[in-house]
């Protein structure tokens, strides 16, 4: 039996559609990138290697020694992300490594990496429901991912819990909101409140107003007394 021209054409078109649906005949769809940028600083800009470990994907970048600016591009990345910066000159900072976090919202995100963001990660990793011995173990918890993916819940943890706790220990800080985490800044205390706060924190520790270990232990104790994180939403239970 011979196929007529219409039947043959239908078979060719159908085969082409099936091939496309299966991903054949081409390179497939494009994969979006996740871009995370911000300022790495300790009162002055700091150069170092920033590593982003995200819910999906990883990426690295080197922060600018003059401005502290960095941008990590994560191919096919999905937030939230844990950021870890290893300084090129560790003798310039009080922390051997610095940590920060980005949210799970948007393809372009801003996250600074500073001693304040590192202390925030320390604080959050002592909150009931997401307690962990290290930032890496803390970030691997689904409840942590839920918290970081919920901007309202994360901002509440910062403004209601973390900021009052650290300002009791370092009263000279001007912290009021989450800008120290999510708004890039210039490393100049005369034009940036965040940079001024970093200078105040460094001064309090170097002048022995409070020790770094004492600051960390007090923040952990305070965090342990806050409401637990609800796994499904990241909000307080």
Residue at 164 is within a domain:
yes
CA 167 to chain centroid, in Å, comes to 22
Q: Which whole number is the average pLDDT over 70-85?
A: 96
CA 8 to chain centroid, in Å, comes to 56
Residue at 5 is within a domain:
no
Residue at 204 is within a domain:
yes
Q: H/E/C letters for each residue in 146-209? A: HHHCCHHHHHHHHHHHHHHHHHHHCCCCCCCCCHHHHCCCCCCCCCCHHHHHHHHHHHHHHCCC
pLDDT higher for 31 or 28?
A: 31
pLDDT score at 94: 80
User: How do residues 101-121 score in pLDDT, each as one tens digit?
Assistant: 998 788 999 999 999 999 999
Please check the confidence at residue 181 and state whether its pLDDT lies above 90.
Answer: yes
**Both structure tokens of 193:** 């409140």
Q: How many CB atoms lie within 10 A of CB 5?
A: 7
The single-letter DSSP state of residue 8 is H
Residue at 11 is within a domain:
no
Residue at 6 is within a domain:
no
pLDDT score at 230: 83
Residue at 145 is within a domain:
yes
Q: Which whole number is the average pLDDT over 186-190?
A: 91
Number of folded domains that form the chain: 1
Please check the confidence at residue 72 and state whether its pLDDT lies above 50.
Answer: yes
Q: What is the mean pLDDT of the chain?
A: 86
Q: H/E/C letters for each residue in 9-73? A: HHHHHHHHHHHHHCCCCCCCCCCCEEEEEEEEECCCECCEEEEEEEEECEEEEECCCCCCEEEEE
Cα–Cα distance measured from residue 74 to residue 18, given in angstroms and rounded to the nearest whole number: 32
Cα–Cα distance measured from residue 122 to residue 116, given in angstroms and rounded to the nearest whole number: 10
Domain residues for the domain of 191 are 33-224
Residue at 233 is within a domain:
no
Cα–Cα distance measured from residue 42 to residue 115, given in angstroms and rounded to the nearest whole number: 6
Please check the confidence at residue 27 and state whether its pLDDT lies above 60.
Answer: no
Please check the confidence at residue 187 and state whether its pLDDT lies above 80.
Answer: yes
Return left, alpha or beta for 178; rule: phi > 0 is left, psi -120 to 50 is alpha, else beta. Answer: alpha
Residue at 236 is within a domain:
no
């Amino acid at each position: 039996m011979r196929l007529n021209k219409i039947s043959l054409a239908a078979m060719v078109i159908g085969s082409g559609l099936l091939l496309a649906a299966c991903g054949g005949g081409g390179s497939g769809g494009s994969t979006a990138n996740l871009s995370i940028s911000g300022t790495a600083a300790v009162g002055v800009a700091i150069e170092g290697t920033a590593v982003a470990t995200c819910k999906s994907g990883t990426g690295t970048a080197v922060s600018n020694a003059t401005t502290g600016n960095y941008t990590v591009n994560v191919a096919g990345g999905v937030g939230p992300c844990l950021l870890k910066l290893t300084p090129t000159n560790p003798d310039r900072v009080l922390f051997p490594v610095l940590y920060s976090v980005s949210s799970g919202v948007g393809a372009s995100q801003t996250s600074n990496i500073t001693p304040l963001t590192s202390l925030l990660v320390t604080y959050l990793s002592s909150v009931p429901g997401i307690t962990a011995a290290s930032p890496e173990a803390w970030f691997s918890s689904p409840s942590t991912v839920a918290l970081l993916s919920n901007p309202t819940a994360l901002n509440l943890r910062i403004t209601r819990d973390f900021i009052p706790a650290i300002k009791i220990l370092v009263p000279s800080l001007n912290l009021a909101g989450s800008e120290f985490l999510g708004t890039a800044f210039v490393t100049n205390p005369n034009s940036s409140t965040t940079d001024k706060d970093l200078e105040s924190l460094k001064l309090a520790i170097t002048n022995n107003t409070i020790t770094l270990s004492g600051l960390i232990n007090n923040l952990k104790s305070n965090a342990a007394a806050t409401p637990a994180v609800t796994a499904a939403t990241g909000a307080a239970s």
